[in-house]
Every structure is written in C-alpha cells, then in structure tokens.
Structure 1
C-alpha cells in the first residue's frame, strides 16, 4: 500500500512497507528519487533503525544477553501504520512487537513524518521509549537522489569550507583509515572512482547541508541540522547518489559489543522521546 501527499509544487509518495519514500515529482513530472532498479539497488530511501550500518559479527549485547541485528536494523523491512494524513502531510508508525523484542529488547514507537512545504519535503523521525529501561539506538536516513543523464555532469558542494575527512570501511566496519576529500573551489565532481571502497563516511561535519549540482546549476539540496554524521554512497554505473544523514554508524573492530557502549549510539530515558528532521529541497 502507498500514500501520496502533494502541494502546489511537489508530489511525494511513500510505501507503507518501511514507510519508505519512493517518489518526489515536480509539476513537470520530473522524478527526483531513484526508481529502485534491483540490478543496482532495490531500495529508494530506507529508514535505518535501531542501528545505522553494521555490527561486528551482526551481534550485540544488552546486560550480558546476546542479540543479532542485520545491517541498518529491521525497521526498513517492516510494515508501518498510517496514523495521520492530510493533503501535504503523512505520519507513519511502527511499534515494538513480539517479533521486534526478539531482536531488540526495548518497547518503542518509531514515527516517520513527511511534510511538503513549497519546494521541500521534510522528513522527521520521532522515537518514543515506552519501556522502563534506558534505550540505546541509532537512526539514519538513506535517500537516493536520481541523477538522470551523465553521472559525471553532477557535482556536490558542502555548505561550509572545511577539511572533509572521511573514514574507510573494511569488511563493512569502520576502520581507523581516513582520507581527505579534495575539492575544486569547494566543489566535488562526481565520479564512480570516489566510491570504489563503498560509502564516504563523515563522523562529524560543520556543514549542515549539501547541494547537488547538475552542469554547475543547483539541482537538489539536503539539509540535516539534527544529524552530526553523514554517508554518501552509490553503486558503480548506477544513476543515483545517496545523501545519508546519520545519528550513529557502523561498529569498529574495537567495539565491545555492548550496545550501550557503541560509538555514536544515542540513549533515550524511559518514557521519553526524541526527534530529528532533515529536508530535501528541489532547486
């Protein structure tokens, strides 16, 4: 099942499966979200919860008990309930269940709130701890922006001039190896060679937005003021780029396995809630 919201400028469509955004179109019917061709990558914009990235051995512990979670958690593979709908807004909810408690022993509700405003789509994540224990979690976005025509016609530019240090992955875990992303007058031309070692992972950035350019003209902007970390990723020869605001990231080899001790993890007190929002603006 799908839900569509619209305003005078844009239309956005969301699957109830994973509460996953799969389309943003303007009034000229131009599509800005990757179509999800499984020959490259069969997703569009999955939510990453209750972890971001990969756990060492896909395993973690809580109070000495061992659990397993797949890469990026389970929310993206579950059916959400539509709990509110207006012309330009849709709210989806996923609540803990017997199934989730086997993998993640916390009572939670995750809400995804999509709101269209002029030429922007806001995506807000709300996490509620409905249990009695402190709840460790991460949350992240993974929208794939469609890049029609020649991939190398595109470039991206960070909001601020800064040293763009990113971490390299080894066996899906974050290594201690880093590189500096070189810019030309603050602009990074896109090419597949950038992603030969998987995603570019920035643990911290001063920039809170990134603009994709097409032939030097602004195309799409992603703003992520509530997210300290960022991933940028594509597959070889795929006509999309993922701009991924994160609160958390993959384990390192040094991780203890205790989820409360995981680098980048958030902790939510009992009966409290958390919210973070980012936006995609069509330029």
Structure 2
C-alpha cells in the first residue's frame, strides 16, 4: 500500500512497508529518488532503526544478555500504520511488538512524519519511550538521490568551508583511519573512486546541509541541522548517491558490545520522546 502527497510543485509517494519514501517527482515528470533497481540497490530511502550501520558480529548485549540485529536494524523491513494524512502530509507509526522485543527488548513507538511545502519535503522522526526504563538507540536516514546525467557531471557543495575529515570502514566497522575529502573552490567533484572503500562516514560536521550540483547548478539539497553525523554512499556505476543524516554509526572493532556504551548512541529516558528531522529540497 502507498500514500501520495502533492502540492503545486511536487508529488511524493511513500510505501507503508518501512514507511519508505520511494518517489519525489516534479510536474515535468523528473524523478529525484532512486528507482530501486536491485541490480545496484533495491531500496529507495529506508529508515535506519534501532541501529545505524553494522554491529560487531551483528551482536549486542543488554544486561549481559546477547541479542542480534542485522545491519541498519529492523524498522525498514516492517509494515507501518498510517495514523494521520492530509493532501501534503502523512504520519506513519511502528509500535514494538512480540517480534521486535525478541531482537530489541524495549517498548517504543517510532513515527515518521512527512510534510511537503513548496519544493521541499521534510521528514521527521519521533521515538517515544513507552517503557519504564531508559532505551538506547540510533536512528538515521538513507535517501538515494537519482542522478540522471553522467556521474562526473555532479559535485557536492557543503554549507560551510571546513576540513571534511571522514572515517574509513573496515569489514563494515568504523576504523580509526581517517582521510580528508579534497575540495576545489569549496566543491567536491563526484567520482566513483571516492567510494572504493564503501561509505564516507563523517562523525561530525560543521555544515548543516549538502547541495548536489548538476553541471555546476543546484539540483538537490539535503538539510540535516538536527543530525550530528553523516554518511555518503553509492555503488560502482550506480546512477544515484545517498546522503544519510545519522544519530550513530557502525561499531568500532574495539566496541564492548554493550548497547548503552556504543559510540554515538542516543539514550532516551522513560516516558520521554526524541524528535529530529531533515529535508530534501528540489531546485
């Protein structure tokens, strides 16, 4: 089942499976979200919860008891309930249940809030702690922006002129090795070689947005002022790039496994609610 939002500028489509955004089109029929061709990557814009990235041995502990979670958690593979809808907004809900409690022993509600205004789609996250104890979690976005022209015609422009230091991944885990993303006149020309070692993981950034330029003209901007970390990823020869605002990231090789001690984790008190949002702006 799908839900469609629209206004005078854009038409947005969201699957109830994973509450996943899978289309942003303008009225010239230009598509800005990756089509999900499984030959490259079969998703569009999944939500990452209750972890971002990969756990060491896909395992974590709570009170010395072991649990397992796949890469990026389980929310993206579950059916959400549509709980509110207007012509230009929709709210989806996922509640903890017997299935989630076996993998993640906490009572929660995860809401995704989509809101369309002019040529900008805002995606809000709400995590509600419905239990009597603190809950540890990470949450992140994974929107794949479609690139219809040749990959080399695109470039990145970060909001601020800063040293773009990122951590390298080794066996899907965060390593202590870092590199600096080279810029030319504050631009990063896109090339597939940037992603030879998988995603670029920025633990911290000064910039609150990243603009994708096509032939030096603004194409899409992702605004992520609420989020401390950012991932950027694509696959060899794939006609898309993912701009991924995150709270948290993969384990390090030294990680103890205790989810409460995980680097980048969010701790939410009992009966409290976490809010964050990012947006995708079309030019």
TM-score by length of 1: 1.00
Query: What is the root-mean-square deviation of aligned Cα atoms in Å?
Result: 0.4
Give the equivalent residue in structure 2 for 1:33. Answer: 33
The aligned counterpart of 2:218 is: 218
Q: Does 1:246 align with 2:250?
A: no
Task: Please say if 1:174 is aligned against 2:174.
Answer: yes
In structure 2, the residue corresponding to 1:82 is in which secondary structure?
strand
Counterpart position of 1:203: 203
Q: Which residue of 1 aligns with 2:138?
A: 138
* Structure 2 Cα separation of the partners of residues 173 and 212 of structure 1: 27
Q: Find runs of 4+ consecutive structure 1 residues off by over 6 angstroms.
A: none
TM-superposed deviation, 1:27: 1.3
Q: Return the offset for 1:164.
A: 0.3
The equivalent residue for 1:93 is 93
* CA-to-aligned-CA distance 1:2-41 (integer Å, 9 cap, x gap): 0000111111000000000000001111100000000000
Q: Once the 2 structures are TM-superposed, how far is the Cα of residue 234 of structure 1 from its aligned partner?
A: 0.2
Alignment of 1:146-157 (within 5 A): 146-157=146-157
Structure 2 CA distance for aligned equivalents of residues 73 and 277 of structure 1: 19
2:107 aligned with 1:107: yes
**Which ranges of structure 1 fall in alignment gaps of 5 or more residues?**
none
Give, in angstroms, the shift of residue 138 of structure 1.
0.4
- Give the structure 2 partner of residue 16 of structure 1: 16
Cα distance in structure 2, aligned partners of 1:83 and 1:14: 14
Distance in 2, matches of 1:258 and 1:218, equals: 43
Aligned residues: 283
Aligned residue for 2:159? Answer: 159
Q: Which residue matches 1:63?
A: 63
Tell me the distance in 2 between the aligned counterparts of 1:200 and 1:134. Answer: 31
Equivalent-residue separation in structure 2 for 1:75 and 1:262 (angstroms) = 19
Deviation of the 1:272 alpha carbon:
0.5
Please tell me whether residue 270 in structure 1 is matched to residue 270 in structure 2: yes
In 2, Cα distance between the equivalents of 1:103 and 1:226? 28
Q: What is the CA-CA distance between 1:149 and the residue it aligns to?
A: 1.9
In structure 2, runs of 5+ residues without a counterpart are: none
Deviations 1:55-77 (A, max 9, x none): 00000000111100000000000
